Chains A and B, each alone.
Chain A
Amino acid sequence: MVVEAEVIRQNYLRHNKKFPHVWCPGCGNGIVLGSLLRAIHSLGYDKDDVVVASGIGCSSRMTTYIDFNTLHTTHGRALTFATGVKLAKPRLRVITVMGDGDATAIGGNHFIHAARRNINITAIIVNNSTYGMTGGQYSPTTPYGSRSTTSVYGHVEHDFSISELAITAGASFVARGTVYHAAHLDRMIEQAIVKRGFAVVEVISNCHVQHGRRNKLGGAIQMINTFRDQAVPVAKAKKMSAEEMEGKFTIGVLCDVEKPISTEEYARIRHESCQLPGELHDEDDQDY
C-alpha cells in the first residue's frame, strides 16, 4: 500500500513544478485527486494517452498538479474543449474534472449536450454545494434554506440532482460517490473511465471553509463523517421507504446502459465517405 502510494506520488504528480497547492487543509479535492490517480494507475494507461480537462474553480485547479496532458479551460467550458480534443484524436482518453457550479450552472448547457451526444468522455464533478473559489456563493446544488455569501437570509431556491440530470440527459454511465468512501470512489472512477460513452461520477465533497462554516456543519472531519451517515448504497436504498431515505442520498452505480457513441458513429461515416485513403489513419481513429 505504502509503496504503491509512493509510486503514484512519484509518477503522477508534478511535485517539482507546482506544489504547494492552493487548496485549504482538509478540502475534499485532494481525496478526489487521489482517487483519480489510483484509478488511472490501476488501469495501467500511459500518461501520454490521457488528457484531463477542467474548468475554473477550486476543484478545477486539479489539472495543474497532475502529470498528464492537462487543459485548464474557462469557467464551465471544460467539456467543450474536451469534445474538440476527443473528436480530433479519438485514441486519447479524455477525462474532465469540474465543480458543481462549473458543470451545472455556467456549464450546464454543455453538460447536458455532452450527455445527449454520448461522446466518449469521463466527467468527474466535485459537488461541494457551493462556489468555493469565489467565496461561498450559492450554486445549483446549494440546499434550500442554506446560508451562503449571497443567501445570508437563507436560500430561497431549490437544488437539483446532478446525477439525475445526467441520466435524463442521456449519459451512458452515472455513479455517485463521496470523499468519505475513498476506496469506493476509486472503483466508481475506474468504471467510469473504462465505460464507453459519456460517463459521469458525481462526488459529494466538503467545502468546510465556505459552505460548512456558514451552515454549522462542522469542520472537514465532521462534514466528511456526515457523508458516511447520509450515504446509502444503491441496493440498500431500493429496500428503503421514502421516509427512511429522508436526508440521505444513494451512492454507487445509478445508471449503466449501452448506447451508440457519437464519436464512433462519426468515425464510421468518415471511413465510408473518405476519398483520400492516404489521409486515413486507423490507429488515430481508434476510439478508446
Chain B
Amino acid sequence: MDPRKPGERLLLQGNEAIVYGALAAGCRFYAGYPITPASEIAELLSVKLPQVNGTFIQMEDEIASMGAIIGASLAGVKSMTATSGPGFSLMQENLGYACIAEVPCVVVNVMRGGPSTGLPTNVAQGDVLMARWGTHGDHPIIVLAVSSVSDCFSITVKAFNLSEKYRVPVILLSDEVVAHTRECITLPQTEQVRVVDRIAPKTPPEWYKPYATNNRGVPDMAIFGDGYHHHVTGLVHDEWGFPTQNPKEIEGFHNRLHDKITKGFPEIMMTKTFDMADADICVITYGCVSRAARMAVKNAREHGVKVGLVQLVTLFPFPRKAIDSALRQCKAAIVSELNMGQMSREVNRVNQYDCRVIKHSRYDGQMITPDEITKQILSCA
C-alpha cells in the first residue's frame, strides 16, 4: 500500500484514505493522542510519515497535540491531528489559537456518540455545531464532512488546500461508519492532485507586516527561521502582530478575519445534488447518512415521488445559497442526521419559504437505514 503507486485500485477504510489524502496534500507532520474510532489514522501515519521525511509524534493529550501541530505549521510544515469527541473537546482551546493567529492546520474528528465518553464507539453526528462553535469567541472556521472512502481522500486534500489558502484551521468531520467502511478506490496520479500552498511574503523583513490586509484578505505567511523573526500571539493584535487595545484596530481585526472567508464563499461552499432538477421534496444530509439517502431517493423515485438529495460537503460556513434554492423549490425538506436535529435547526434558520423542514433524527448509536428515509419521503409525498 504505497501512496506513491497511484493508479492502483486499493481496498481502503475511510481512516486509511484520509492518511493517503493528507500525504498527497503535502502533510508532513502529525501529532495526536489515541482514541477510537480515529486511531488508525495515527497508526498508519506513524509508519508513512518518516518514509516521506515527515514527523509523527504521540503527545500526552489532545491539548498538546493541537499545540504541536500549530507549532509545526508555524515552522512551515503542513500538519494535522485526528481525534474523536472527547479529544475534540480538549482541542477547542488551541483551535481558537489557530483561528486568531491564522495558522493553517487540519483537524479530523471521527465522530462517535457523546456527550462525554458517550458511546465508544458507535456512530453519531453529534459534534456538528461544536465543530462550528466549540472554541470561544467569534471566529471563522471551515467544517467539511466526508461520506465515503473516496471522499476521505479527496476532501482531505481539499481541507489542506483551503486551510493553506485562507490560513484557517479546517475541521474534517468523519464518523465511525465512514472511518471503518472498506471500499475500493483508485488513488490519483501525484500530478493530478491539485495542491495549494500558503503564500510566502516577498517584502523584506523590515517591511513585513504579518497581519496586514491585502486584496485577498489573507496575509502572506512568513515561517519561523526564514528571516522574518516576527511575533505570533493569541491576543487580538495589530497588523504587526502585537497586542492591541485600540477599538478601531480590534474591530478591523475581526472584520478581516471574517471577510477573508466571506470572499472565498464560492470556492469554500461545496454541496452535491442528486435528482434535484424536478424535485418537489428534498432530503438534506451529510456524512455517512448521505449514502443511505442516495438509496432512499432512488427507491422513492421508483414509487413515482419527485424527490432529490442535497448532500452537504461543507457544513460551515453554512451553504446558505444551495439550501435556499432547495427550500424555494420544494414543499418539504427532510433533514436526516445522527443527532437530535443540529443541522435541521440550521436549515430551519434560513428557511424563508413555505417549505416544511422535517427533522429526521436517530441517536441510538445506529445508522439510519435507507428504508427509514424512504418512509419519511413517502409520508411527505
A interface vs B, CB < 8 Å? 14, 17-18, 47-49, 51, 53, 56, 63-64, 67-74, 77, 79-89, 91-92, 109-110, 113, 266, 269-270, 273-276, 279-281
Whether a CB of chain A sits under 8 angstroms from the CB of B55 is: yes
Nearest residue (CB) in B for A111 is B60
Supposing A51-B224, A64-B233, A83-B59 touch, asked if A77 and B79 sit within 8 A by C-beta, the answer is no
Residue from A74, A88, A274 in contact with B29 in the complex, judged by beta carbons closer than 8 Å: A88
Report the Cα distance A53→B234, complex, angstroms: 12
- Are B67 and A74 neighbours in the complex by a CB distance under 8 Å? yes
B interface vs A, CB < 8 Å? 4, 28-29, 31, 50-55, 57, 59-61, 63-77, 79, 93-94, 97, 224-235, 240, 242-243
Residue from B59, B75, B229, B234 in contact with A73 in the complex, judged by beta carbons closer than 8 Å: B234
Q: How far is the CB of A48 from chain B (nearest CB, A)?
A: 5
> Besides the contacts A85-B72, A88-B77, A280-B53, what 15 more A-B pairs have beta carbons closer than 8 Å?
A17-B242, A63-B233, A64-B233, A71-B231, A71-B233, A77-B67, A77-B94, A80-B94, A83-B68, A85-B75, A88-B72, A109-B60, A273-B51, A274-B50, A276-B52
Residue from B69, B72, B97 in contact with A74 in the complex, judged by beta carbons closer than 8 Å: B97
Residue from A69, A73, A92, A269 in contact with B97 in the complex, judged by beta carbons closer than 8 Å: A73
Report the Cα distance A48→B226, complex, angstroms: 7
Majority secondary structure, A binding face: helix
Closest 8 pairs (CB-CB, A-B) = A84-B71, A80-B67, A84-B68, A88-B72, A88-B75, A84-B72, A81-B71, A72-B233
- Are A80 and B51 neighbours in the complex by a CB distance under 8 Å? no
- Are A85 and B71 neighbours in the complex by a CB distance under 8 Å? yes
Nearest residue (CB) in A for B222 is A69
Supposing A48-B225, A74-B234 touch, asked if A274 and B67 sit within 8 A by C-beta, the answer is no
Residue from A63, A113, A270, A279 in contact with B231 in the complex, judged by beta carbons closer than 8 Å: A63
Supposing A83-B68, A88-B76, A91-B225 touch, asked if A274 and B94 sit within 8 A by C-beta, the answer is no
Report the Cα distance A83→B272, complex, angstroms: 40
- Are A69 and B230 neighbours in the complex by a CB distance under 8 Å? yes
Report the Cα distance A79→B64, complex, angstroms: 8
Residue from A74, A84, A269 in contact with B50 in the complex, judged by beta carbons closer than 8 Å: A269
Nearest residue (CB) in A for B78 is A88
Nearest residue (CB) in A for B47 is A273
Kindly list chain B residues whose C-beta atoms are within 8 Å of the C-beta of A281. 53
- Are A85 and B67 neighbours in the complex by a CB distance under 8 Å? no
- Are B233 and A84 neighbours in the complex by a CB distance under 8 Å? no
Q: How far is the CB of A183 from chain B (nearest CB, A)?
A: 27
Nearest residue (CB) in A for B205 is A48
Kindly list chain B residues whose C-beta atoms are within 8 Å of the C-beta of A53. 71
**What are 15 A-B pairs with beta-carbon distances under 8 A?**
A17-B240, A63-B233, A71-B232, A71-B233, A74-B93, A74-B234, A77-B63, A77-B93, A81-B68, A83-B59, A83-B71, A84-B67, A84-B73, A84-B79, A87-B55
Residue from A82, A92, A270, A280 in contact with B225 in the complex, judged by beta carbons closer than 8 Å: A92
Kindly list chain A residues whose C-beta atoms are within 8 Å of the C-beta of B70. 81, 84
- Are B63 and A83 neighbours in the complex by a CB distance under 8 Å? no
Most B C-beta atoms less than 10 A away, residue of A17, A67, A73, A80: A80
Q: How far is the CB of B127 from chain A (nearest CB, A)?
A: 21
- Are A80 and B235 neighbours in the complex by a CB distance under 8 Å? no
Residue from A47, A51, A72, A87 in contact with B235 in the complex, judged by beta carbons closer than 8 Å: A72
- Are B224 and A89 neighbours in the complex by a CB distance under 8 Å? yes
- Are A84 and B229 neighbours in the complex by a CB distance under 8 Å? no
Kindly list chain B residues whose C-beta atoms are within 8 Å of the C-beta of A14. 231, 242
Report the Cα distance A276→B75, complex, angstroms: 21
Report the Cα distance A92→B149, complex, angstroms: 38
Most B C-beta atoms less than 10 A away, residue of A71, A79, A276: A71
Q: How far is the CB of B330 from chain A (nearest CB, A)?
A: 45
Report the Cα distance A67→B229, complex, angstroms: 7
Supposing A17-B240, A51-B224, A270-B50 touch, asked if A87 and B229 sit within 8 A by C-beta, the answer is no
Report the Cα distance A84→B71, complex, angstroms: 4
Report the Cα distance A51→B53, complex, angstroms: 22
Report the Cα distance A124→B94, complex, angstroms: 22
Nearest residue (CB) in A for B93 is A74
Report the Cα distance A109→B66, complex, angstroms: 15
Kindly list chain B residues whose C-beta atoms are within 8 Å of the C-beta of A91. 225
- Are A48 and B227 neighbours in the complex by a CB distance under 8 Å? yes
- Are B52 and A279 neighbours in the complex by a CB distance under 8 Å? yes
Residue from B60, B71, B243 in contact with A88 in the complex, judged by beta carbons closer than 8 Å: B71
Report the Cα distance A84→B70, complex, angstroms: 7
Report the Cα distance A67→B230, complex, angstroms: 8
Supposing A84-B75, A88-B79 touch, asked if A49 and B52 sit within 8 A by C-beta, the answer is no
- Are A77 and B64 neighbours in the complex by a CB distance under 8 Å? yes
Report the Cα distance A83→B58, complex, angstroms: 11
Most A C-beta atoms less than 10 A away, residue of B54, B70, B79, B224: B224
Q: How far is the CB of B52 from chain A (nearest CB, A)?
A: 5
Kindly list chain B residues whose C-beta atoms are within 8 Å of the C-beta of A68. 229
- Are B232 and A72 neighbours in the complex by a CB distance under 8 Å? yes
Q: How far is the CB of B186 from chain A (nearest CB, A)?
A: 21
Kindly list chain B residues whose C-beta atoms are within 8 Å of the C-beta of A275. 4, 51-52
